[in-house]
Amino acid sequence: MRVALVTGGSGGIGSAVAERLAADGMAVAVHYAGRKAAADEVVGRIEDAGGKAIAVGGDVADEAAMAAAFDAVEEAFGGVDVVVNTAGIMLLSPLVDLNLDDLDRMHRTNIRGTFVVSQQAARRIRGGGAIINFSTSVTRLAFPTYAAYAASKGAVEAMTLVLAREMRGRDVTVNAVAPGPTATPLFLEGKDQATIDRLAAQSPLERLGTPEDVAETVAFLAGPARWVNGQVIYTNGGMA
């Protein structure tokens, strides 16, 4: 049985990814930072559907905590084949007004966190495996107020493409998924209906994405897509 670790697995996209990979027959470790109860609920849904899952906690930017999380996955399931980095935070402000503490927070979680988890994955992942990081379509769309967030995800794209080449000879793919506007609580919070409708209309498919749409792309990269490597997959319904 293939084994997946999903960071941020208690959240909107992360939980959809965890449940989709479990439905594809993988044992799944659902990672959480502070929301253990939410992670336990995801584990419960996977087990109720006949799958195997555990919850693992820790700060993605803390090397010792992530080493311990990987240890727990290996102890429970025997190894790691797929690592999906959905953990991230998004703090929005015009660049001119951004609180630099918010910049540092996003740097710690989005850049350092992805780096730390990718480092553990590169050391431990089994042949035939996949590392899947998360960027954002805003690196192309350039929405106002997203400068710091998009910058952090641009760094994720850079490390992803380099790591794909550094894994030469290991039979491990490394890619990034870059969602567009997706109907998660994190995205919808603070937006009025007119704003939501305007964003939905920008896609030729005339709707927001769903967490399940994004999970579909992750499942492709985690399973059959062995010839897709070193790529950023823009999963946004054609918005960019």
Domain ranges within the chain, ordered by starting residue: 3-182+211-234
Residue 184 pLDDT grade (very low, low, confident, very high; cuts 50, 70, 90): confident
Q: How far apart are CA 107 and CA 113, in angstroms?
A: 8
Please say whether the beta carbons of 182 and 13 come within 8 A: yes
Q: How confident is the model over 12-33, as a mean pLDDT?
A: 97
146 belongs to the catalytic site: no
Using alpha carbons, select from 65, 152, 63, 145 the residue that is nearest to residue 107: 152
Global pTM value: 0.95
Q: Name the CATH topology of 3-182+211-234.
A: Rossmann fold (3.40.50)
Q: Which of 32, 146, 149, 234 is catalytic?
A: 149
pLDDT digits (tens, 9 = 90+) for 95-107: 999 999 999 999 9
| Three-point CA angle 195, 196, 201, nearest 5° | 100
